[in-house]
Structure 1
């Protein structure tokens, strides 16, 4: 087993509370690491667990867990937790977890889950959509579909993500978040395999040759999978295709690094907008 065998890999650092009297990670914590890896697997599928199970009409219960120890982890070690599905049966799902320090395999964990009725906890067949999604993910397929269009086409989906992020999570007033500019903007929305919108953004044109990207939002439980970057890239491409010279955006200061990695540069000093610290950034578009 190698780290490269896993498409879903999550990195964490061993904490002091996880080390025992032998100064190595207490054995039971490796099951916690595997559980973290399982949570990250659902994130990689673009499937928020609770909403997904509600949509599928069931839930997944752990039936069996087995752990094999090869070497020990110590405090402050950086570990990579790899998770992959090895088999989808009629009602069961088998997963394999590899816990690595660099390229060194420390622990392997085998997990068997059963898809079941959440009330009676009696097994049910794994839904075909879930079966297909897992198999396609393990085969390297993209987990989201990106759509670019107008407000009439994508407004309902974009609104769902923006309401959850800006209004419910960040406490921004609906009077500020929703405005008349939506009807004139180009919108991008990423959908998961269940058709749920998971990320969005919009593109405006403030002046000839000058575009503005805004309302960038990714569902809270699905962040860190580059779907925000996919939305950003799609909007930049749309701006370039219509002949704009540059793209500006009002970034929340907490997201400045995200936009810097996409080649945006800071313009001016930070300021407050909707009660949140912002910074203006811009990207010159090559012709």
Structure 2
């Protein structure tokens, strides 16, 4: 994953992220992926609070497919890579991976829905334009 639509976030594994064996607990990866998507959004100049305040739109995970390929361990430094793979009317599709030293540990396909007042809503035009310009 390497282009202007791809965000990268470094994450250190702490004790709280692990299970009794010292390996990253499976649910901790979900938090890492969420942080990756949040920082990806910030990379386009948008924050969740800003979008919600200006447009009433919030984002919620609608579908998540994840594969755990190899474990991460306490004190590891991981890279969370986030790339938008599709922009639809009311959703964004992401491909994400978590790597350590170029070794792929986790892959995920995530569909995030834009919601306003508990109903699907169009992705704000300003965000859509920023993504499209990033792809150019």
**What does residue 42 of structure 2 align with?**
43
**What does residue 67 of structure 2 align with?**
68
Q: Any idea what SS the aligned residue of 1:54 has?
A: helix
Question: Is the CA contact 1:60–1:113 (under 8 Å) kept in the aligned structure 2?
Answer: yes
Matched, 1:100 2:117: no
**What does residue 130 of structure 1 align with?**
127
The whole-number CA distance in structure 2 between the counterparts of 1:101 and 1:40 is 19
Question: Is the CA contact 2:51–2:57 (under 8 Å) kept in the aligned structure 1?
Answer: no
The whole-number CA distance in structure 2 between the counterparts of 1:7 and 1:111 is 14
- Cα distance, 1:128 vs structure 2: 2.6
- Cα distance, 1:136 vs structure 2: 2.1
Gaps of 5+ in 1: 141-287
The whole-number CA distance in structure 1 between the counterparts of 2:67 and 2:39 is 21
The whole-number CA distance in structure 1 between the counterparts of 2:126 and 2:45 is 13
Q: Any idea what SS the aligned residue of 1:75 has?
A: coil
Gaps of 5+ in 2: none
Higher relative contact order (CA 8 A, sep 6+): 2
Q: Any idea what SS the aligned residue of 2:80 has?
A: strand
Deviates more, 1:121-130 or 1:63-72: 121-130
Deviations 1:77-102 (A, max 9, x none): 11001111110112111111110101
The whole-number CA distance in structure 2 between the counterparts of 1:48 and 1:100 is 25
**What does residue 9 of structure 2 align with?**
10
The whole-number CA distance in structure 2 between the counterparts of 1:107 and 1:136 is 29
The whole-number CA distance in structure 2 between the counterparts of 1:33 and 1:73 is 12
TM-score normalized with structure 2 length? 0.89
Aligned residue pairs, count: 135
- Superposition map of 1:1-287 within 5 A: 2=1, 4=2, 7-117=6-116, 119=117, 121-137=118-134, 139=135
Question: Is the CA contact 1:31–1:109 (under 8 Å) kept in the aligned structure 2?
Answer: no
RMSD: 1.7
Q: Any idea what SS the aligned residue of 2:20 has?
A: coil
Structure label with greater radius of gyration: 1
TM-score normalized with structure 1 length? 0.44
The whole-number CA distance in structure 2 between the counterparts of 1:28 and 1:57 is 29
Following TM superposition, the consecutive aligned residue runs of length 4 or more in structure 1 with deviations greater than 3 angstroms are none
